[in-house]
């Protein structure tokens, strides 16, 4: 999920919080992946990195809204949130950090050479029709 914050803020009079928007779009894609693997009814844990007490509570509320039906399929998602401190040294959070920058650079500077993107694009979720754009890579706006 890549959000161009400048374009997002310029396009909308009351733009949604970019982190909450990214969470919503990300959870929708997680649910799509689970559905494709016929695992959509099993409880799945989603780990997010802690950002501070206030921000974590806001993120948990945004997470609950999405899981309670504020999503594109208007259905409940059987997802559980775990907020992990960076000090836990989670492999998943480390992987997310390694992936985030090459994806963002690919979107914001597409002509710039990006060897990490060259590797990553072959590993992104491509949905049921084999298309990465909009599935494993959602760009907004």
Express each pLDDT in 28-53 by its tens digit: 999 999 999 999 999 999 999 999 99
pLDDT at 88 over 90: no
Q: Nearest-CA neighbor of 27 among 12, 7, 46?
A: 46
- Model pLDDT, residue 42: 97
* Mean pLDDT, range 78-84, rounded to an integer: 97
pLDDT tens digits, residue range 106-136? 999 999 999 999 999 999 999 999 999 999 9
The beta strands (E) that lie in the chain are given as: 2-3, 44-49, 79-84, 139-140
Q: Mention every residue, 6+ apart, whose C-beta is less than 8 A from residue 43.
A: 78, 79, 80
For 59, residues 6+ apart whose C-beta sits below 8 A from its C-beta are: 19, 20, 23, 48, 51, 81, 83
Q: Kindly tell me if the per-residue pLDDT of 90 is higher than 90.
A: no
* Structural tokens at position 26: 């990300």
Strands (E), 71-115: 79-84
């Amino acid at each position: 999920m890549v959000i161009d914050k400048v374009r997002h803020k310029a396009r909308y009079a009351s733009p949604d919080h970019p982190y909450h928007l990214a969470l919503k779009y990300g959870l929708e894609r997680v649910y799509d992946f689970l559905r494709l693997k016929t695992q959509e009814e099993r409880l799945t844990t989603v780990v997010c990195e802690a950002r501070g007490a206030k921000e974590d509570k806001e993120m948990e509320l945004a997470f609950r809204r999405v899981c309670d039906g504020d999503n594109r399929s208007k259905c409940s998602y059987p997802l559980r949130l775990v907020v992990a401190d960076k000090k836990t040294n989670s492999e998943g959070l480390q992987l997310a950090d390694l992936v985030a920058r090459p994806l963002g650079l690919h979107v914001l500077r597409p002509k710039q050479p990006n060897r990490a993107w060259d590797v990553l694009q072959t590993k992104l979720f491509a949905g049921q029709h084999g298309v990465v754009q909009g599935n494993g890579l959602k760009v907004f706006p």
